[in-house]
Amino acid sequence: MHILIVVWAILAAWRWADWSRFHDFHATIIYMSAMDLLYFLLTVDYHLWTVQSNLGFPQTVVALFYTFIVFPCTVILFLSNYPHKLGKQVLHIGKWVIIYIGIEWIGYLNGSIYYEHGWSLGWSFLFVIIMFPMLRLHYKQPILAYLASVIIISFLISSFDVPWMGF
């Protein structure tokens, strides 16, 4: 499943992303990848979710496919097609939430993703509803996005009793 997602992300970005604006999106691509890497650092021995390969790839390799391929493709697709009108923005975010949650739900059903320590598809849904507006916020006001990220991360660490950096 994960290889299909990686291939789809590459093909979709190649087809529908505005690569002439890559420089505009670069910082937000780094933001999303950095936040994913921070998740792995903060939850090194206490993952809330893990991805598993049906082809025998180690979990770390699968996670890195997402960090360095799927998420950058997501950012450039999401931002390069972001509409100007508020109603269309809500629909655009909704479309991406449905895509992400739909894929995660299929992954959960076929054993490609596992939840632990109280995390669930419902929490992923709430997370993704916040994640896509955060990408747009980072694109427009990166400092505000980083400040909001600290608050969100602190809330999640507290809510799921994540031992901070192994302490």
Q: What domain range includes position 8?
A: 2-166
Q: How far apart are CA 55 and CA 68, in angstroms?
A: 19
Kindly tell me if the per-residue pLDDT of 167 is higher than 70. Answer: no
The 10 Å CB-count burial string (b at 16+, else e) for 65-84 is bbbebbbbbbbbbbbbeeee
Q: Taking the model in full, what pTM does it have?
A: 0.92
Kindly tell me if the per-residue pLDDT of 1 is higher than 90. Answer: no
| pLDDT given for residue 14 in this prediction | 96
| pLDDT given for residue 75 in this prediction | 98
Q: How many domains does the chain have?
A: 1
Q: How far apart are CA 36 and CA 3, in angstroms?
A: 19
- pLDDT digit string, tens, across residues 34-44: 999 999 888 88
| pLDDT given for residue 45 in this prediction | 87
Q: Which of 42, 37, 32 is nearest to 145 (CA)?
A: 32
- pLDDT digit string, tens, across residues 113-136: 999 999 999 999 999 999 999 999
The structure tokens listed for 111 are: 């054993």
Which of 27-36, 43-52, 115-124 is the least confident region?
A: 43-52
